[in-house]
Amino acid sequence: MSLLIKNDNALFTFYHIEKCAGTSLRFELYNYFSKFIDKNLIFMPEINKVGNNINLTNNNIQQITKQGKQFLDFINNKLIYLCHISYNDRIFSLKPKFKITCIRHPITRVISHYNYFDKKNYNNREFDQLTSSELKEWFMIKGNLTIFRLTCNRNNLLLAKQNLLKMNHVIFVEEYDKDIQILGYKLEKKFKNKFNYISLKKNIGAKTKYKYNKMFLERIIFYLKEELELYYFYKKCRRAFKKKMHL
């Protein structure tokens, strides 16, 4: 597939990884940037006038192709991108001045991903009720998604670590309220406009009391070794940075 976007002038990109509280953050960021940037220069699938609800991933290529030149013109002149998109993407090439992402503990992220997107495709069975072959196939298709969004490649853990460190800010879902306020300080410093955190809650799936047994969790840990290494790598880096800065 040929290049669809090449934008070296983007001011800000949120690399939204699925099921990492990203939809809520999109709306927080949209409310912030739309106060001082023309809304027509902000790309956010939920509010786009052209190609509504279309993200910028390989899964959206067919939708984008159907939209044609009008959509390509629409997406190429934006300053702010708030959507699902992979860093280092060969089709959607952005070089934003300020870039962020959210990451979540891999075990809770994949469970949330399955329940939200895929459970209905498996006759509403719980994640731990999939057969061994079904579970293996699911992880072959959907596993290492955090690494993929950070590299456009499912198997490059080293590059994912490097790219995570290139982000201007990373939000841990488990520390969302604190991290978004730190993001606010950085945005105010960069863009000279005050960030007001509203604590919006969007795209939140129904909470379940279903409990997974230890044996099943050990099974999915096997498939999540690299994602877990990435998650704890960045946690360690953040602790080291805070210690250095005496935070």
Query: Looking up tokens 């939708």, which residue turns up?
Result: 63
Structural domains counted in the chain: 1
With 0.85 as the threshold, say if the pTM is over it.
Answer: yes
Range(s) of the domain holding residue 216:
5-245
The three-state secondary structure class of 193 is coil
Q: What is the DSSP string of 107-141?
A: HHHHHHHIIIIIGGGGTT--GGGS-HHHHHHHHHH
Residues near 218 by beta carbon (within 8 Å), at least 6 away in sequence = none
Condensed to tens digits (0 to 9), the pLDDT of residues 18-74 reads 999 999 999 999 999 999 999 999 999 999 999 999 999 989 999 998 999 999 999
Under a CB-based contact definition with an 8 Å cutoff, are residues 80 and 41 in contact?
Answer: yes
Under a CB-based contact definition with an 8 Å cutoff, are residues 115 and 79 in contact?
Answer: no
Domain containing residue 164: CATH number: 3.40.50
pLDDT-derived band at 153, boundaries 50, 70, 90:
confident
Closest by alpha carbon to 43, among 88, 79, 89? Answer: 79
The total number of residues shown for the chain amounts to 247
In the structure encoding, which two tokens stand for residue 33, read together?
A: 């940037």
| pLDDT for 185 beyond 80 | yes
What's the pLDDT score for residue 154?
Answer: 83
